[in-house]
Structure 1
């Protein structure tokens, strides 16, 4: 068993390691907080009936009143986490369950009042959340799925990006990929994955744009062979893509202001 924690902190910290009667249990943690009234809780847990070969966590908080909650539990090996919060009043709430495979997480928030909520459960997940600006909100929820990749980058202010994968159904979210890039202000992007061989891409460069990509059917079953692209370069544009059957492909480009598009691909 290997337990290692290097902690440099100015204010509140709770760091807990707990392990059951398993073997191959690894925990690493490195936390550095500089500023006032920052708080961080890192809870890396190995369940009593689970095997683990690694938790790792590195957290940096520089500024004031930043808050971090990180839980990396276990369901059979491999976790990674790296969190940087620079600014004031940023909040990151992260949970990674595990499972055989690679669970990677990078959250980089530079600015004030940004919030990142990430939940993993089982499978192979790679997440990157970068928010440079103020008042941005990124939400990622992935359940039992495998081969997932999510990247949310928001460089303006008051943007909201949401990615949800659900791999509980058969072939659900296998081969998933999702990218949301929002560079202006007050943009709203949402991607929902359920089926297999899924891909979604979204870029909004102006302000007050809204884009939604939904790749799922009504019964939460597989919808296979999906791909969707949305690019909106302008302001007050709205685009919706819904894919609920197999062999789908969609490409939407809107340049200008006040444009609206709807694409529905089903049986």
Structure 2
């Protein structure tokens, strides 16, 4: 039987919507285990676990437009997988995960197009998130201290909104798509670290740092990318390495002891740093070896005492 005929038979097969609610114990329940798998379309899973030591393994496979919502209160772990049908198609799956209290762990995998994931953590949590295919959307919020999350988005037009509220949080984000990926990052608190790596063209990253000793490291490769943002506070670091043509980079910092670094390897690149405060450091390196410095532009503005600035164009 031809592939398209099989595909049509699969799509015409009636799939009943399935809604399941799991409530694991009362507020003092502990060490519960929940395992659930749905194969089909328009399924719904709702899981609420209270207490410490709980474990959840949830799978929505071979379907589209599925929804999954998990709330864990206590030091627990969750593994979530949303995949495509037997032919690899998956559209419009939605996953929401909230973990409260410390030392929780989560793993979320979404495979398909147009999927959405929202993750919020309160406490000291760690996790990984993988989104495969195009038009994926991610909202991640870390509220507390010592949270660690790794995010991988593979596909075009991916969107990621990352928020760190607290101290000593870590986010590692990788976007690998052909074009039009975007990242919006907010760090509020102390000693938060975010590392973002993206490849493709016409990607955009914006950031806001509010607090002290926060750190952002960005690596962009591609054409027509944009990196911009601002920080308010002391001893913050914003650093970007950008490779490709026609890229734009801009950093604005207000406070003391801040550092901004822009390193571009491209042609027709624009780099700008503005700092207000004392003992700040700014550096711009523009390398266009293959284009002999073709139409690059660099600008540094500093207002305060004891600041240092370096521009190197080659």
TM-score above 0.5: no
- Please report the TM-score for the alignment, with normalisation by the length of structure 2: 0.35
- TM-score (normalised: structure 1): 0.39
From the two aligned structures, give the one with the greater strand fraction.
2
Higher relative contact order (CA 8 A, sep 6+): 1
